[in-house]
Structure 1
Amino acid sequence: MGSLLYGTGWIGGIALAFGLFASILVAMGLGRLVWQWQVNAGRDPETTGVGVVASAIFALLGLLIAFTFSGAAGRFDARRTLIVQEANDIGTAYLRLDLLAAPARDELRETFRQYLDARLEAYRAVPDRERVAQALARADELRDRLWARSVAESQRAPVAAATMLLLPALNAAFDTASTRLASTREHPPGVIYALLLSLSWIGALFAGYGMAGRGPRNWLHELFFSVTLAMTLYVIVDLEFPRLGLIRVDEFDEVLQLVRDGMK
């Protein structure tokens, strides 16, 4: 699912939502066909056993949806928090460059500005994988240059405060950046999504089978069921990839942009 969204952005998200809706609706139609096949074959459609199995499947589906939704929402909030944390850490480290003497201080400030520009570009380039990789590589290069020069200049500083205050602040900023990158790759195993989809389709099949025995096809009920389940599944996926679908964390990048605008 993530690769589909990654390649097409929010358009892929809309396509995914419609695909889920159509597949659930088809599964319900198949359930109705199974019922009709049994009637045409002169058999009495099963009701009691099917009800027990369907109840168990829907109970398991509800539990799995609750589990995945809670995890996705938690990771979404964590990613937003990390953006603010990185902005604070970068702002602190940039201010502590004042502990160094000119001209090294001015050179490091310019390098720091370029580093933050590269970080911002990396996240704004999504879903273009090539641009993201280039921006991250550029940020890593500037990070290494910034750290090496800061260590060297701190050792030349007349007071120990430069080493004691500047280097830990830089380290915190770089650690948060690494944590942010790792958080973008933190998702449930693919088997969880496969199980969620499988249970949704099986549940829809049983729902269609059960509704078939209650008279003519009720399109309103089937559409309501399909839309509700499809949108729930879509929101779970969208929360897991908050830079690719409709639910996004882009507005939180403005916190980093404010820090960048304040780097004079």
Structure 2
Amino acid sequence: MDHPDLVFLGCWSFLEVGRRIGNRRLASDAEGARTGTGAIEGAVFALLGLLIAFTFSGAASRFDTRRNLVVEEVNAIGTAYLRLGLLPTDAQPALRDLFRRYVDSRMEVYRKLPNVEAAKAELVLSTQLQEEIWTQAMAAGRMEGAPPPATMLLLPALNQMIDITTTRAMATQLHPPIVIFAMLYGLALVSALLAGYGMAGGKSRNWLHMIGFAAIMALVVYVIIDIEYPRLGLIRVDTYDQALVDLRASMK
């Protein structure tokens, strides 16, 4: 998803192109080469800074949301599992086994990423297990000796457990339009071009500034994209899946 090497090479190339354009402009019109460029550069760099702040803030907000949804799902499953104790004793073992299989399947959905097709196939299995749990819970609530409050307490917990899977699935697909990232890449390259133009006139290239500018732009874009897609890069929410692992271990 993120290619910092391409951003680095792109910025480096545009810095060099901008420097060469600036040198030619200075050679043909030394006095007018830089006339009015300051206002344009200021506007472009200000727009780049605004876009970086916007995309970073949005990515960080969505990262926090996805992280919180992991905790919410664990709490929902844990609550529903505890309320199985309200059902008749004979109905509990089968349902508890279904819950253990369900948690295993939910963990596998995210373990199989970034293989999207495998994750979708596992998600189908999770949905089937949800249906089995719901059907058996309804049947257990109608068994002789089942206390009336059992289904009144269990079914809302199961409903919340099922709903959170849809919420998490939608959260993984919630991203800014591609045009936003295209603008980010494009503005980074335009900024590199203008920065290179501003460096024209020197007898030699300013390697420190050129490398520094390209590296910083590549790092910024990389971090933003990595936070936006936290299961595909280095910045991940996998550590929060440990809560599901701990829940599964508690299901004796």
Q: Into which bin does the TM-score normalised by the smaller protein fall?
A: over 0.9
Distance in 2 (CA, whole Å) between partners of 1:103 and 1:178 is 31
Aligned residue for 1:8? none
Distance in 1 (CA, whole Å) between partners of 2:173 and 2:40 is 36
**Percentage identity across paired residues of the two chains:** 46
Question: Post-superposition shift, 1:130?
Answer: 2.4
Question: Post-superposition shift, 1:215?
Answer: 4.3
Amino acid at match of 1:152: A
1:248 equivalent to 2:236? Answer yes
Distance in 1 (CA, whole Å) between partners of 2:91 and 2:162 is 20
Aligned residue for 2:15? 28
Matches within 5 A, 1:150-169: 150-156=137-143, 158-169=146-157
1:209 equivalent to 2:197? Answer yes
- Root-mean-square deviation (CA, aligned residues, Å) is 1.4
Aligned residue for 1:232? 220
Distance in 2 (CA, whole Å) between partners of 1:59 and 1:155 is 66
1:219 equivalent to 2:207? Answer yes
Distance in 1 (CA, whole Å) between partners of 2:244 and 2:192 is 45
Distance in 2 (CA, whole Å) between partners of 1:192 and 1:34 is 28
Matches within 5 A, 1:131-170: 131-156=118-143, 158-170=146-158
* Conservation of the 8 A alpha-carbon contact between 2:87 and 2:150: yes
Amino acid at match of 1:120: M
Amino acid at match of 1:121: E
Matches within 5 A, 1:97-112: 97-112=84-99
Aligned residue-pair number = 250
Amino acid at match of 1:94: Y
Question: Post-superposition shift, 1:74?
Answer: 0.7
Matches within 5 A, 1:15-164: 16-40=3-27, 42-44=28-30, 46-156=33-143, 158-164=146-152
Question: Post-superposition shift, 1:214?
Answer: 4.4
1:196 equivalent to 2:147? Answer no
Distance in 2 (CA, whole Å) between partners of 1:124 and 1:94 is 23
User: Helix, strand or coil for the counterpart of 1:195?
Assistant: helix
User: Helix, strand or coil for the counterpart of 1:158?
Assistant: coil
Question: Post-superposition shift, 1:204?
Answer: 0.6
Amino acid at match of 1:259: L
Q: TM-score, normalised by structure 2?
A: 0.95
Amino acid at match of 2:192: A
The answer for unaligned runs of 5 or more in structure 2 is none
